[in-house]
Structure 1
């Protein structure tokens, strides 16, 4: 999704990856798939549990990205 470059950071926090532990601890995600939308200040804007198709993801990003 090139239109979000520089405005969105995607983090793949698989629970089996030990490097994901800090993200999982901070945002309390324990279920896959879970999408956590976080502001630039680090505040959770929305948490969505369940799969998102491209249309749904774009709608959520458009609603939350400045």
Structure 2
């Protein structure tokens, strides 16, 4: 699995962090997504998928 984010699309909703805090974080100043791990382990893959699905701006891309 390869995870990428488009910070320009991010609307700072925080859904990524709520679903996968070990993969995503948010910048302190504006809440924009920060990718912590672009290749999460298999046991975290479902959380990454949930975060991508929950993102209202579709700023997270998952490549299997």
- TM-score tier by shorter-chain length is under 0.3
Q: What is the TM-score with the length of structure 1 in the denominator?
A: 0.26
Determine which structure has the larger helix proportion and give its number.
Answer: 1
Q: TM-score, normalised by structure 2?
A: 0.27
Structure possessing the higher relative contact order (Cα contacts under 8 Å, 6 or more residues apart)? 2
